[in-house]
Amino acid sequence: MENNKSKIIKVKKNNDGDITDVMLENGNVYSIDEAIMMTKDHLIEGVNVGKAKNGREYLRSNPNDEENDNLDSMPKF
């Protein structure tokens, strides 16, 4: 079975430091809302969907011992 999941390699942030868009390995760029839906559909690997206290959903890196794959630490575009 072919693994068609992609990984996030870069992020775009707004002035508040919130991630607004993500870039996948194939170069495609998606809004954070699209990326959340894709993660729910198991199309993006290495992340999961969390829910903030205010009910807003957000992407977060799967727990591991690596610091450099946290979304906030990724290169920006």
Residue 18: pLDDT over 50: yes
Given a cut of 90, is residue 47 above it in pLDDT? yes
Here the tokens at position 60 are 């977060």
For the chain, how big is the Rg over CA atoms in Å? 12
Residue 76 CB-half CA count within 13 A: 10
Q: Bigger pLDDT: 2 or 42?
A: 42
Name the average pLDDT for the chain.
90
- The label of the residue with tokens 């999941």 reads 5
- Prediction pTM value: 0.86
Query: Which two structure tokens, joined as six digits, stand for 77?
Result: 């575009």
DSSP secondary-structure letter at 63? P
